[in-house]
Structures are given as structure tokens and as C-alpha cells.
Amino acid sequence: MEVMLRSSQLMASSVCCMKGRSLNTYTYSLLYFTRARYVSVRRTFSSTTEQRDHKQRVVVLGTGWSSLFFVKNLDLSKFDLQVVSPRNYFTFTPLLPKLVSGRISTRTCTVPFSSFVQKHRKGSFNFVHASCVNVDPHSKLVYCVSASDPNTRVNLPYDRLVIAVGAESNTFGIPGVAEHAYFMKEVEHANIIYQKIISNFEQASLPGISEEEKRRLLHLVIVGGGPTGVETTGEIAILLNKMAQSFPAVASYVKVTIVERGQRLLGTFSLGNSQYADRVLSAKDVNILLGKQVCAVGENDCTVKDATTGETVTMPCGIVLWASGLKQLELVDKVRAHFKVQNNPRALLVDQHLALRGTGDHSIFAVGDCCKILPDKLSEHFDEVSKAIGGTTPDALLRNLKTLSWRFPQVSSNKLNPKDPAFVEFLNKLSISEKPPKEQLLELMDYIDSRYMPPFPTAQNAKQESVYLANLFNKGFNIQGTAAFNDVWKGSLASIGGKHVVGNFPHFSLNGGIKAFVLWLGVYLTMFPSGKMRFCYLGDSLVQTLYGRHLITKQHSLER
């Protein structure tokens, strides 16, 4: 393996951990090229050792949900692993709303990536603290820039590349969002928002501040009525109530508004969940604007437009918190440009085994928010399917859905419900048509292909994809002998502040109550990747309950 480094300092900071191996097996030779300021690091083996210990070089981009659970389930004794990211820790993103409200501390929702891997997995692992700026799929090189020194460049060769870089907040090209809104994707974002809220209260409490300015400073607008927006709104409403007790002179000026373009909050949850969330937030004096969209954000205000009438209203506000939509990173666009078949502008297209479409040799994979699963189409594999089902009629296909689901996830029970009214209606129309059976089968295939819905970009699905991909790697990339990836929706939970929790599950839903809260707590404690995180969460909850929130400002943390 050869790694091109711009300085020996970066090489020293990224030490390859090889537990259980003799260092005498490896010889390192450093060749310095002073004019180019590059360092070439070579690992040399004796011929017998190379045959015995040869491992494929796996490079993983990112330290989010997908990366963490991929590495956690990967057999490092079989691979030479390098993880590349400008962020050297994992963030438990569902806890960011509680971090915004001061409910928990930063350490509770973060885990140092390297120490986590070294604790849970034994084998060859190296963390490279850098940003990937491009990928060369032909030379199989990853081009990176050091996170600590932009002038230091690192070129990493790979045999298998896993792209798990996630996504970033989507501004939708709305004027002023990038410049003036606050986002909710990183720990740093949550900490800045928390500090900004406290700072605005302190500013509003200064002598000589006009009533109009007080109302502006203490008006917080959350854009997006999905789980992130609703959870953040609920937590902030509780925080502002606590702040009002500490700043009673300005308590009457506090206002929270949530803006959602759709006709209800939590649009992916059940109607009952949405109605419960509406009641809880309304009881906390939250101003709920449905059927509205933000069309501009200024330094001291935001403009909201009615989605139906087009009427606009400008609202003075101290903070605009953006929790609406995701878009792909620039790196994803660069990777997509290498392959003609990558024609989706929003994500990397992968097949049913999470391999990047267009590679051919299965050398690049993608998981998580940066990718979209596009399985092989039934209609494009007519001969293969008809042979597998033993016929060329719609009935033959319907009798063999379980068999086909091994290869085509669009016919699995999670994606295709034969009792769905729309599907039944389609079959009835097809049965009375005068088309030959073969044409009917092709039409049925096209219908099933068009109805396939890829997994939503959630932490739950990212984890499932990563575990699947790690198992595929561990089995030696036996694509033909491995079933297609098929996500399983286990339900969704959302905390609306305090003990108010809603849950939407395949066969039931929960709207508040102690059962919903205990279930939410149990699920999250189970999802935490480390015992330390569980201990910190319970400890923070106890301290906050007994002594309240830590309402102090750090001036250096107020810059966006």
C-alpha cells in the first residue's frame, strides 16, 4: 500500500493500530521529495507474509451513522481500514434538539471515533483527519485535504471505497438563508443556537432597549414541521419558559413560531400523532403556521408566503432556525460526474447491494443520506425472471414473489402489498385486458418497478444499510449469494419536549403518556453506541432536574 502525504506530521498523527501483530513483520521506508514536499509511505512484506496477510484496502468516507455501524460490524481482521473525515467524532443527531435547549451536554451526544473503533474492534484501523475533495475511480485514489492544514494533501489508494458522507441542509436557493439562518446538522450548530438564545435574552434585558426590539430579539422562528423541527420547537419552548423565569422583565415578549409548508406537522407520522403534536405545542404558546413557506430571510426578519394565496408577511425575529430539507455535498456531485448512469442530481444511485451504479467491479459503495437505492428492474431482466418463476404470466410472478425478493427488493413484502387497493385495482384491469399474457407480465413488471420506494434518509435506515454492507464485506463480496438489501421500517418516535412523545408503528401509534415516554427512553438508550453515552445522558437528566440548566454565554461561540 502506498499513501502520499504532504507532511510527516500528518502521517504521525494518523497511526495505524495493528493489535495482536508483530511490528517486526512490517518495514517502513520514508522517501522524501523535498521539491514537491511529499512523503511516500510504503509498507513492505516478505513474499510469504504478503501471501498470508494480504488484505483489501477499504477506505470509508465520513464518521456519521452509516460509518459508525459499518465499522462496528466489519471484520477488521480481513481488511486494512482507513476512515477519512474532517470530524473526528460521531454525533448522535436525534439528541441535537435537547442540546439546543441545554437539556444535555456536548459529551452526551458525541463519541470520539477512533477510540470507539479501537475499543469495539480489533484489527488494522487508521483514522485520517481530513476532508475528501475528490475520488478517482479509475486509479482508485481518494484525494483529501488535511483538516488542520489546507496546504497538506493526502492521496489514499483503495480496493473498496465506502461513501458515507451524509448530506447537508438545503436552502432551496431562498435568499438570505445561508447568510442569516441557523442550521441543525452538527453539534456546533446546536451549541451556537443555545448560546444565541441566552445572548438575546441578555440583550433584551439591557436598559434602553425598545419594546419593538425586545419583541424581535425574543421571537424565534423554526422552519420545517418534520421530526427535527417539531422536536426542536418543543425543547426550545421549554427552554424559553425557563429563561422567562430567569428574566421576568422580558417574559411577556417571548414568542416561538414554527412554519410548515404542508397542512400538518409530522407529515410522515399518523394523523393522530400530528394532532397530538399540534395540541402540545399550542399549549406551550407556540404559533403554528401551516400551509406557509419562508421565501426570504433577513438579518433581523423573515418573510413568509402563503402557499395557496401567495400573500406574504414579514416577521421581525431574533433567530431563524432552519430544519427543512437536505441536499447533497459537493463531493457527491464530483463522484457522480465520473459515471454517465449517475443521472440523479440529488443522490448517488446504488443497486440492491448498495454498490455504486456504473462501477462494474463493485469497488465503490454508498450508504446513508448520500445515496438512493435503485434496484435492477424486473422488466429489464424479463428472461431471468420468467425462468425463475417458470412462466410468462402475471399469475406466475405473483406466486413467486418471495423467491424473487432475494434478487428484486421491489417485490418483497415490505415494499409490495398484494392486498393494497390500488394494486388490486390494477390487477383487475390487467386481467380483463385483451393483451397477450407476456405483455401483461411486462406491464405488471413495469408497475411494480415504478412503485418501489427507496428508504428514507433516516438514522434507522442508515444503520440497517451499514450492517448489511459490513456483512457483505465480511462474506467476501459474494454478491450472487447474498440477498438484496431490503429496509425494514420498525416505527418512528418523536419527543415534543419533556415527557411528551409520539410514536408511529406498523400496527399502532402512541400519543403521549408514560408508556410512550418509557418506550422512547428505552429505544434511545439501546441505540446509544456506548455505555458512556448512556451514563452521561442519565447523569445530565438528573443534574438538570435537580439544579436546572446551565444558562451562561460564551462570547466566542456566538458567531455562525
User: pLDDT tens digit string along 55-74?
Assistant: 899 999 999 999 999 999 99
Number of domains present in the structure of the chain: 3
Residue type, 369: D
Q: Final residue of a domain: which of 453, 472, 491? A: 453
For 540, phi then psi, to 5°, come to -60, -40
What single-letter DSSP state applies at residue 454?
P
Question: What CA–CA distance (Å, rounded) separates 142 from 331?
Answer: 11
Q: Final residue of a domain: which of 435, 453, 471? A: 453
Cα distances (angstroms) measured from residue 30 to each of 3, 7, 43: 11, 11, 10
Q: Is residue 44 part of a domain?
A: no
Q: Is residue 545 part of a domain?
A: no
* Higher-scoring residue by pLDDT: 558, 189: 189
Cα distances (angstroms) measured from residue 382 to each of 379, 437, 452: 5, 13, 17
Question: Dihedral of the CA atoms 97, 100, 103, 105 (nearest 10)?
Answer: 110
284 with 412, same domain? no
Q: Is residue 125 part of a domain?
A: yes
Q: Is residue 361 part of a domain?
A: yes
Q: Final residue of a domain: which of 414, 436, 453? A: 453
Whether the per-residue pLDDT at 366 is higher than 90: the answer is: yes
Q: Is residue 186 part of a domain?
A: yes
164 with 258, same domain? no
Whether the per-residue pLDDT at 411 is higher than 50: the answer is: yes
313 with 344, same domain? no
Whether the per-residue pLDDT at 445 is higher than 90: the answer is: yes
- Give the model confidence (pLDDT) of 458-497 as tens digits: 999 999 999 999 999 999 998 888 999 999 999 999 999 9
User: Comparing C-alpha atoms, which of 300, 53, 9 is closest to residue 149?
Assistant: 9
Whether the per-residue pLDDT at 51 is higher than 70: the answer is: no
Domain region containing 384:
378-453
227 with 241, same domain? yes
Three-state SS string over 527-545 comes to HCCCHHHHHHHHHHHHHHH
- Give the model confidence (pLDDT) of 130-141 as tens digits: 999 999 999 999
305 with 234, same domain? yes
Half-sphere exposure of 475 (CA within 13 A, CB side): 13
60: left (phi over 0), alpha (psi -120 to 50) or beta: beta
Q: How far is CA 551 from the centre of its chain?
A: 30
What single-letter DSSP state applies at residue 355?
B
386 with 420, same domain? yes
Yes or no: say if 29 and 42 are a contact pair by the CB < 8 Å rule: yes
Q: Is residue 557 part of a domain?
A: no
Residue type, 190: A
CB-based burial label for 51 (10 Å; 0-12, 13-18, 19+) = exposed
Note the pTM of the prediction, 2 decimals: 0.87
Q: What does the pLDDT read at residue 120?
A: 80
Q: Is residue 233 part of a domain?
A: yes
Mean pLDDT of 416-445: 94
195 with 319, same domain? yes
- Joined together, the cell numbers standing for residue 447 give 408497475
Whether the per-residue pLDDT at 44 is higher than 70: the answer is: no
- Give the model confidence (pLDDT) of 69-121 as tens digits: 999 999 999 999 999 999 999 999 999 999 999 999 999 999 999 999 988 88
Q: What does the pLDDT read at residue 29?
A: 32
416 with 428, same domain? yes
Question: What CA–CA distance (Å, rounded) separates 320 from 195?
Answer: 14
Domain harbouring 339, CATH code: 3.50.50.100
158 with 110, same domain? yes
477 with 368, same domain? yes
Strands, E assignment, 124-252: 124-136, 141-146, 153-157, 160-163, 168-169, 182-183, 219-223
Mean pLDDT of 38-61: 55
366 with 476, same domain? yes
CB-based burial label for 67 (10 Å; 0-12, 13-18, 19+) = buried
Question: What CA–CA distance (Å, rounded) separates 554 from 198?
Answer: 10
293 with 368, same domain? no
Q: Cell 419562508 maps to which residue?
A: 294
Domain harbouring 246, CATH code: 3.50.50.60
Q: Is residue 212 part of a domain?
A: yes
